[in-house]
Amino acid sequence: MYFPRILRSLCIFALSYIAFTLIPYFPYKLIIGISSFLCLLSFVTPQLSIILFSAVFFITMSYHSLSLAILYLAALAPLLALFAYKEEDFSGIFLFFAMTPVIAHFDLGLAALKAGKHLWIEKPMTETSEQARQLVNEAEKRGLVLLVDHTFIYTGAVRKIGDIVKGGELGDVLYYDSTRINLGLFQRDVSVISDLAVHDFSILDYLLGEHPVAVSASGINHYPGTPENLAYITLYYESQAIAHLNVSWLAPVKVRNILIGGNKKMVVYDDLEPSEKIKVYDKGVSFTEDEAKIQEMRVGYRTGDMWAPKLVGTEALRVEGEHFADCVLNGETPMTDGKLGLRVVELIEAATNSMAAMGEVVYLQRAPNDRRQARAPRRRFDRGHMPASENVTGI
């Protein structure tokens, strides 16, 4: 049973190496795709291969059938072959897709950027925040586009919620509650946080426009030799918003629900709903400090209409591909740029550290050069409401 795995690994290694070695003889509009994901990408974004680019390169491997050593060699070999040639042999190549398990993201991405190629990289961006920071700095230094594949940001549902939140329709966001559970798929290289919670980290970054000030997480690994398969994560924000994430590989059913509550309206997002994925509820509560009215009822409950907004049905990968093409051709910054990818990796690190410390709160510090504009806080975040901790992570 073990021999076919090695044989398959060696075949992928050889085919990848040969394919990239032959690239100089096929300089016109070329896509090399390995895996069903890349076939899907080629299908939904045909203009990437037909109109916009003279050459696009994909490298991807199936982690479940490769040992780490073979995987790493298989991922690096095509890149080594690519850059073994003189730069003029690849004058028509100006972007690189890194679609590998996270272990190879940094080396592949850094080599591509140093060779002057724009980069589309799979999520999570890297294994560590330091690696992610190096990729961001390298892309900025060379004036290259770095897009991290946080696909949910390009879905019609999330973009519509973004319009609702940023337009002030919900009022001040009070909470974000997400359940993202299913049975499997168990992975060996990343935990359930990197696999599932990473989606909510990117969605929160996009919707709220601010970074958490503290993270607390608890989780467990039920099976030896595998990362954590279940986790509960809480994110605290300067604006007094709070986010709670429930992620699991051990659920008997698949659930993809998000509740977002504002002081004016609330949103329910069910990603598995075929037609009405988003529902906006005109519901909420109101408090009064008027002594004359307190005797009647201090808390008032408001119940209004529910409506399901129409969503753009364009495939998210196609939207993302067209956006990437526009950024490359016009020198614009992607919505899911390297800095967003860095912030997500930092949250993965903070949540992982908290989980290892049995839920200890990890406080986050914003870097001096972080110029992101956050919404004005309703009141100052008070650490007195949380357990004391000396654990601080730099953002």
pLDDT tens digits for range 345-386: 999 999 999 999 999 999 997 654 443 433 433 444 454 444
For the chain, the domains span 2-149, 153-314+358-394
pLDDT tens digits for range 99-117: 677 888 888 888 888 888 8
CA neighbor of 93 nearest in space, from 142, 119, 56: 56
CA neighbor of 48 nearest in space, from 327, 391, 364: 327
Strand 266-270 to 250-262 pairing = antiparallel
For domain 153-314+358-394, the CATH class is alpha beta
CA neighbor of 124 nearest in space, from 362, 340, 363: 340
pLDDT tens digits for range 121-153: 999 999 999 999 999 999 999 999 999 999 999
- What confidence tier does 88 reach under pLDDT thresholds 50, 70, 90? very low
For domain 2-149, the CATH class is alpha beta
Residue 334 CA to chain centroid, in angstroms?
13
Angle between helices 198-208 and 156-166 (to 10 degrees): 40
pLDDT tens digits for range 322-351: 899 889 888 899 999 999 999 999 999 999
Helix (H/G/I), strand (E/B), else coil: 102? helix
Burial of 306 per CB tally in 10 Å (0-12, 13-18, 19+): middle
The confidence score (pLDDT) of residue 390 equals 43
The confidence score (pLDDT) of residue 101 equals 78
Residue 357 CA to chain centroid, in angstroms?
24
pTM comes to 0.75
**What's the N-to-C CA distance of the chain in angstroms?**
46
d(CA 139, CA 132): 11
The confidence score (pLDDT) of residue 94 equals 60
The confidence score (pLDDT) of residue 151 equals 93
The confidence score (pLDDT) of residue 302 equals 75
d(CA 252, CA 226): 19
d(CA 130, CA 136): 10
| Residue 160 near residue 272 (C-beta atoms within 8 A) | no
Of 50-59, 180-189, 273-282, which one has max mean pLDDT?
273-282
| Residue 157 near residue 271 (C-beta atoms within 8 A) | yes
Average pLDDT (231-240) is 96
Strand 242-248 to 173-183 pairing = parallel
CA distances from 224 to 63, 79, 228 (A): 18, 34, 10
Query: How much of the chain, in percent, has pLDDT values that exceed 90?
Result: 48
pLDDT at 249 over 90: yes
d(CA 274, CA 311): 11
276-281: Cβ within 8 A, 24+ apart: 276/308, 277/157, 277/311, 278/157, 278/160, 278/161, 278/308, 278/309, 278/311, 279/306, 279/307, 279/308, 280/164, 280/169, 280/306, 280/307, 280/308, 280/309, 281/306
